Amino acid sequence: DITLNNLALINSLKEQMEEMRKKEDRLGKEMADLQLQNRRLTEPLQKAREEVADLQKQLANYEKDKTALASTKTRLKQTEKELNQEKWEHEVLEQRFGKLQEERDELYTKFTAAIHEVQQKSSFKNLLLERKLTALGETLEKKEAQLNEVLAASNLDPMALSAVTRKLEDVLDTKNNAIKDLQYELARVC
């Protein structure tokens, strides 16, 4: 009876061992399949990790670029504002420059006209002064001739002649001074 029990136990253990061996074989195959599958997945996983790292770098660069772009846009707006201000100031300066040119041209025209008028007046004044000077010179010559005739014709004593001569010289000096004044004025106007 014990032997039967032992045989039954042995058979049962053999069957269990057979099942365990089959199970071990099956698990071994599964393990090999899993290792193979693991090897097949390791490379894509590594690539995926590298890709994630690359994408993270790109994201960081994108954020930097985004910040730089925002900063550049702000500077561009400021520069455009300054440019518009400069254009406006340039326009104002051009208008002022045009007005100043007109004023300059008007002043030049007035100046030229004034110079022309002064030249005409001075030419006319010179002509009058020259005529007056000539007339005074002629009058002086006549008076000197008349005086010489009177002195030659009269038999005055030397004292009287000296007094008359002195008076005559005073009159001549006055006339000569008037002539010099006229000549000076004529030279000054010319």
Domain boundaries, the chain: 2-189
| pTM of the predicted model over 0.85 | no
Q: What is the per-residue pLDDT for 85?
A: 96
The C-alpha atoms of residue 63 and residue 60 are separated, in whole angstroms, by: 5
Tens of pLDDT, residues 36-57: 988 888 888 899 999 999 999 9
Does residue 135 carry a pLDDT above 80?
Answer: yes
Does residue 84 carry a pLDDT above 80?
Answer: yes
Residue 182 CB contacts under 8 Å (≥ 6 apart), including other chains: 129, 132, 133, 136
